[in-house]
Amino acid sequence: HRFRVLVIGRANAGKTTILQRVCNTTDQPEIFDGEGHKVCVIHSWVQRGYHNIEDELVFRSNSRFVFHDSRGFEAGSEEQFDKMKEFVMDRAKTAKLDKRIHAIWYCIPLTDSHRMVTAAETKFFEECDTGHVPVIVLQTKADSLELEAVQQLEQEGLSIDDESREAALAKEILDYHIAKLKHWLDFCRFPPHDYLTLTGMDEEGADCTPLLRCTANALREEGLQKLLISTQQSNLGLCIEYTIME
């Protein structure tokens, strides 16, 4: 009765903020082991170096979601990569339905446009066959491109008072980064199922409907779609949308 997501991404990718917005909270998650026992205080999760992919991150505001954090292998640790790969292979195919992961969110920040795809991303999409579990690349911190657009306008000696010109340039920069990212990842052995650009995640009450809709559409089983939608009792629009589709 819980929807389980593996979240992957660098330390500055905005993962925590996304999970908080999905669960409509500003609190930190509680951490449990696979048996349901609380394993540490909340603050331990945010400490550098803490990463146990088996642990479950649950927010009190919406306990129907269970998150796993892969932190560790992105830093280049072969041991942590092997643990993450083993976890994915095991949890994607396990017969224990309550332990199976249903989706993977891979967060890549657009603030690191000079190194959007590192060795960690390449290794993951070349070596990790997630089977029926869809991997969705979340392009985070897209709002930062507005600043990049302003800086470019200033360098060209153009006025930054023209909001339409600034918006058009920001979109042009965004489209360029998305195309570059897709060019890198789509030719990998196991490319992402889909891509999604996230904006406004720093704002409390940010709309996560696009993320939930994208995830639901990526799921192959109708039962999993219903499970995901059922976690969003406060998102009436999304519930109505999928009821009509059904």
Q: Which string of DSSP letters, residue by residue, matches 29-66?
A: PEEE-TTS-B-S-THHHHSTT---TTSEEEETTEEEEE
Residue 246 has pLDDT above 90, yes or no: no
pLDDT, one tens digit per residue, over 25-64 is 888 899 988 777 787 655 544 554 456 888 999 999 999 9
Q: Could you tell me if residue 105 is inside a domain?
A: yes
Distance CA 29, CA 77 (A): 25
pLDDT, one tens digit per residue, over 93-137 is 888 878 899 999 999 888 766 677 888 889 999 999 998 999 999
Q: Could you tell me if residue 169 is inside a domain?
A: no
Distance CA 30, CA 60 (A): 8
Among 214, 181, 197, smallest CA distance to 141 is for 197
Q: Could you tell me if residue 222 is inside a domain?
A: yes
Per the structure, how many domains does the chain have? 1
Q: Could you tell me if residue 101 is inside a domain?
A: yes
Q: Could you tell me if residue 12 is inside a domain?
A: yes
Q: Could you tell me if residue 163 is inside a domain?
A: no
Distance CA 71, CA 19 (A): 15
Pick the more confident residue, 241 or 138. Answer: 138
Distance CA 246, CA 222 (A): 9
Average of per-residue pLDDT across 75-89 = 83
Q: Could you tell me if residue 40 is inside a domain?
A: yes
Give the range of the structural domain holding residue 234, as residue numbers without chain letter.
3-143+189-244
Q: Which band of pLDDT confidence, cut at 50, 70 and 90, is reported for residue 227?
A: confident
Q: Could you tell me if residue 166 is inside a domain?
A: no
User: Residue 82, Cβ neighbours under 10 Å: how many?
Assistant: 11
The pLDDT, as a whole number, for residue 154 is: 57
Which CATH number fits the domain that encloses residue 237? 3.40.50.300
Contacts of 75 (CB under 8 A, 6+ apart): 120
Pick the more confident residue, 147 or 142. Answer: 142
Burial of 95: CB neighbours in 10 Å, binned 0-12, 13-18, 19+: exposed
What mean pLDDT, rounded, does the chain reach? 81
